[in-house]
Structure 1
């Protein structure tokens, strides 16, 4: 039996965060950007594993990776946005 988790994440720049996360994906992980008509764009990741413990471990890694990617995107944005006239 396969265990599945779908994670929807609101982040500062969904395209950049998704692009940062995708290289770590295995064949059983997909990461996309959802653009709902009403609501913010979100990173959507689906993870499938054969065991609950494997799913939990992968989810834990994903949450950390997503948080770091979002933080780096925000940091890069602050450094590329000019505050000088």
Structure 2
């Protein structure tokens, strides 16, 4: 086996949102030690690093579901905001 086969696998997911800070704050509590989330302008950028491809795939899939749900909740909340008097 080559040394490369032992190297960690890494994926970076970048998604753009009107409320990137809110989305990032929503997904961070579910991050594991192998995940880092930051805001870059209107984007949430999360880097995931795992020891194997299967683990990377599973973690990335879970993260994408979490981002999708967070975005849907933010959109729903925005539709139901009441104007300040």
Would you say 1:10 and 2:16 are equivalent positions?
Answer: yes
Q: Which residue of 2 aligns with 1:32?
A: 38
Gaps of 5+ in 1: 36-40
Task: Find the structure with the greater CA-based Rg.
Answer: 2
TM-score, scaled relative to structure 2: 0.86
Aligned to 1:55: 56
Deviation string 1:20-78 (CA, Å, 9 cap, x unpaired) is 0000011110111002xxxxx10000000000000000011011100000000111111
Q: Does 1:64 align with 2:65?
A: yes
TM-score when scaled to structure 1? 0.86
Structure 2 residue runs without a partner (length 5+): 1-6
Task: Count residues with an aligned counterpart.
Answer: 78
